[in-house]
Amino acid sequence: MTAVVLRRGAGLLLTLLTLSVLVFLLTSMAPGDPAEEILRRGGIQPTASSVAALRAELGLDRPLFSQYLRWLLDVLGGDLGRSYADRSPVTTEILSRVPATLRLAGAAALVAVVLAVLAAVWTALRPRGLGSRAVALVTVAVAGVPPYVVGILLISVVAVGLRALPTGGDSGPGAVVLPALTLGLAGAATLLRLLRGDLAHALRLPFVKLAAAKGLRVRRTVLVHAVRVAAPSAVTAAGLMLAELLAGAVVVETLFSWPGVGQLAVSAIRQRDVPVVQAYVLLTAVATVLLLALAEVCLVACDPRVRRR
């Protein structure tokens, strides 16, 4: 187990280093001169001398590799740079938005897990029923529809039509319901498709059939034996689902005016605020990689067959 974790850890460090290079290069290649943008945003007509002076102040006149090393060292020290828009520390801006994003992602994960587990167990108990086919059809439909379409439908029907919940913002506990449903439904579809297949496979295993033959009730057979067999795949699916939730938060936060990191990133893209975009892309990529690595470690701990590979 220790050897597996160390091996995975070395691979994880290499992946994170590669990610940092890609994020810096891709965001640095954005069109336009940041120095000119900052001067124009401050109401100053850029001249060759003023642009050159500001580029020197920002370190943009250095070779790209030198800029990357400086940026990487600052990031490792917890400094994500300063926003081009208002010169405020990016770390402070990101940290002030993180609680809202975590609150939304947590509520969406709760929606996804509850819906997926209930639907998977229910369809496993009635594999040939009309309800199971309906659930399968709805799952395919939800998985194929982009989250922003689901969000627009929920706003139109629930918030505007029924006036049951607010259309956006984070004023009050009810404000999180619609964005959490929008994100959670997509995550539930991903999780359900994996869980349903694993539960159906588990129910065909000899020892599960033997338990049922000995008189164990079908519901208990599914909940105690089949769910335990499907647990390793569920852990992997949960990691993928959480990564999807983080990626989808950008669209949902913008659609519902949710004051999270995703909304900050969209605003930064509109303003060509490179340091904020760099910080958002890097943190999202790192969080995704860490979630998948955590899911893999949990899978190794749950399933001895993986440790022997």
Neighbour-count burial of 174, counting CB atoms closer than 10 A to its CB (0-12 exposed, 13-18 middle, 19+ buried): exposed
Per the CB < 8 A criterion, the answer to whether 282 and 91 are in contact is no
CA distance 297 to 293: 6
pLDDT in tens, 152-191: 999 999 989 888 888 888 877 788 999 999 988 888 887 8
What residues are paired with 82 via a beta bridge? Answer: 89
The encoded tokens of residue 192 equal 């359900």
pLDDT in tens, 202-259: 777 776 667 667 766 666 766 666 666 666 767 777 777 777 777 778 888 988 999 9
Q: So what CATH class is 98-308?
A: mainly alpha
The encoded tokens of residue 65 equal 């590799």
pLDDT in tens, 95-104: 999 999 999 9
Model-level pTM?
Answer: 0.79
Q: Where are the alpha helices (DSSP H) in the chain?
A: 2-28, 34-41, 48-58, 64-76, 90-125, 130-144, 147-154, 177-203, 206-213, 218-220, 227-255, 261-270, 274-302, 304-307
Q: How many CB atoms lie within 10 A of CB 194?
A: 19
Torsion of CA 299, 304, 308, 309, to 10 degrees: -30
Q: How many CB atoms lie within 10 A of CB 64?
A: 12
Q: Where are the domains of the chain?
A: 1-90, 98-308
DSSP state of 30: S
Q: What backbone torsions phi and psi does residue 86 show, to the nearest 5 degrees?
A: -130, 10
Q: Which pLDDT score is estimated for 179? A: 92
The encoded tokens of residue 116 equal 């997926």
Q: Which pLDDT score is estimated for 142? A: 81
